[in-house]
Amino acid sequence: MSLKAQDFNKIFDAVIAKYHVVDDVDQPFENIYKASTLEHLLYRKCWIDTVQWHFEDIIRLPEIDPIEALALKRRIDASNQDRTDMVEYVDSYFLQKYADVQPKNNAKINSESPAWAIDRLSILALKIYHMAEEVNRESASESHRAACQKKLDILLEQRIDLSTAIDDLVTDIESGDKYMKVYKQMKMYNDDELNPMLYNKK
């Protein structure tokens, strides 16, 4: 049985809840799903996103030591690369799954691949979790909590819409009404053969 976007959301919510039991960017990671499954990829993907979310919070501390901030920036860069790699692994899963589907003559291409849409769903789950924290934060003012509730309502509506769009996209690919064409990100700043600031130092 194929997974639906609501299944993706459940995985993401479970990952985020699991992370916050310890709530430490250096805590060990354990994937609860069998390797080679889509669930395994999504669980790992959301864990990377969750850790990076907290990296981004930490680096914005006004009193952070500059040397620590630079080391953290390096970790954020590495995390961004891991995130991109995981998205490409997820797209590879879909490419293989629908490799035998013959697109119709009038099939169209989507503006983004399934995996990049799912990436947005993972980030949305994090926004929902942390906005809900603000809604329920007892130390916050009533006006703050009310404003955050309005934002949370929008985020929840956005998740419904994005989930529907993802399911529609996958259905269209399954039926041949749309076809996948994936371009690698080809990030240049991480590559010492492509970033002039790096290769000029050689």
> What is the per-residue pLDDT across 26-52, written as a single tens digit (0 to 9) for each?
999 999 999 989 999 999 999 999 999
For the cut 60, the answer to whether the pLDDT of residue 1 exceeds it is: no
Say if 197 falls within a structural domain. no
Q: What is the mean pLDDT of residues 169-176?
A: 97
Burial of residue 39, with CB atoms counted within 10 A of its CB: 0-12 exposed, 13-18 middle, 19 or more buried? middle
- Is the pLDDT reported for residue 138 higher than 70? yes
Please report whether residue 201 resides in a domain. Answer: no
pLDDT value at 106 more than 70? yes
What residue numbers bound the domain in which 91 lies?
5-189
pLDDT of residue 196: 78
| CA 104 to each of CA 109, 151, 172, 175: distance values in angstroms, whole numbers, following the listed order | 11, 41, 10, 8
The mean pLDDT of the chain is: 94
For the whole model, what pTM was predicted?
Answer: 0.91
**194 assigned to some structural domain:** no
SS3 108: strand
Whether 196 is covered by a domain: the verdict is: no
Would you say residue 19 has pLDDT above 70?
yes
Are 43 and 32 spatial neighbours (Cβ–Cβ below 8 Å)?
Answer: yes
Whether 198 maps to a domain, the answer reads no
Determine the pLDDT at residue 200: 77
Structural domain includes residue 199: no
**Which is more confident, 76 or 196?**
76
Does 200 reside within a domain? Answer: no
What is the per-residue pLDDT for 136? 97
Which tokens go with 202? 């050689």
169 is a domain residue: yes
pLDDT at 186: 67
Give the C-alpha separation, 19 to 31, whole Å. 12
Q: How many domains does the chain have?
A: 1
